[in-house]
Amino acid sequence: MARKSSSGLPFLVRRKDVGKYVYWRILDSAIAPFVCGEIHRSWAVVSHSLSGKAIIKLSLQTGDRATAGDRWSEVHARVEALIRDATTLAKRDKETKRNLERVPHAHL
């Protein structure tokens, strides 16, 4: 779900309190637990780790709109890849649970 943004780019939000841009995204509850991985940022020393939370909030560490747009592109591409992977994992998990429910359990 895209957070409202006046920037023209989905999930790009300017924090009014500090004047910096963030990548801010709410994930679908079915895939959120599966969205895990590292977001490597060319402008930052440390990667940002995603660990299955429902909301992704990632500082782009700039108040400049043009720079934020460039950084958004880098982050958004990586997040989209992790979401594609998570969607596949969520489908497999759902199918596995469905198959387990069909298997008759032996009574002792």
Q: With respect to residue 5, please indicate whether it lies within any of the assigned structural domains.
A: no
Q: With respect to residue 44, please indicate whether it lies within any of the assigned structural domains.
A: yes
Q: With respect to residue 2, please indicate whether it lies within any of the assigned structural domains.
A: no
Strand partners, 58: 23
Q: With respect to residue 80, please indicate whether it lies within any of the assigned structural domains.
A: yes
Does residue 84 surpass a pLDDT of 90?
yes
Question: The domain containing residue 70 runs over which residues?
Answer: 12-102
Q: With respect to residue 97, please indicate whether it lies within any of the assigned structural domains.
A: yes
Query: Measured between alpha carbons, how far is 53 from 50 in angstroms, rounded to an integer?
Result: 7
Q: With respect to residue 3, please indicate whether it lies within any of the assigned structural domains.
A: no
User: Which pLDDT belongs to residue 24?
Assistant: 96
Look up the pTM and report it. 0.79
pLDDT tens readout for residues 19-58: 999 999 999 999 999 999 999 999 999 999 999 999 999 9
User: Which pLDDT belongs to residue 26?
Assistant: 96
**Which tokens hold the place of 86?**
């998570």
Considering its fold, how many domains does the chain have in total? 1
Q: With respect to residue 108, please indicate whether it lies within any of the assigned structural domains.
A: no
Proportion of the chain above pLDDT 90, given as a percent: 75
